[in-house]
Structure 1
Amino acid sequence: MNVEHEVNLLVEEINRLGKPGPEGKMQVTFGELFNDDRCANIFEALVGTLRAAKRKKIISYDGELLLQGVHDNVVIYLL
């Protein structure tokens, strides 16, 4: 698995699904990403891709590990 490629795909999907936030940064909730059919087909491990992108400071969100259901309303910001 090419992490760089997965992160680039994640950026594309956040731009597709997201909306500009108050600071002009694109934002999307974890639930929107997780429940999107296209994302489900692209990402085998969405949470792992999110963590890799966060480590590279490409996105930001509160917390460390996002779990479906519990963290559906957590906002992910594209930096």
Structure 2
Amino acid sequence: MRLDKYLKVSRLIKRRTVANEACDAGRVSVNGKVAKASVDIKAGDIIEIQFGTRNVKVEVLDVQETVKKDEAGELFKYL
């Protein structure tokens, strides 16, 4: 699954367009490398997102096309 779509489905970022813009600005990295929105995400990847002064680091546990709001937190684990 594409990185921008995963960020939206997992509810780490609310909208796909915002996720896309964050990737274009170089604020998202996957496994230590700055990533474009089209990067393929799989279980076990480490995603780091810079939100202003705060950094969020998560490990991908599962990849699903759609998920209910209360189950979105099960797709990743905070590090």
Give me the TM-score of the superposition, normalised by structure 2: 0.29
Higher normalized strand content (fraction of residues): 2
Which structure would you say has the larger RCO, counting Cα contacts within 8 Å and 6 or more residues apart?
1
Q: Which has the higher helix share?
A: 1
- TM-score (ref. length: structure 1): 0.29
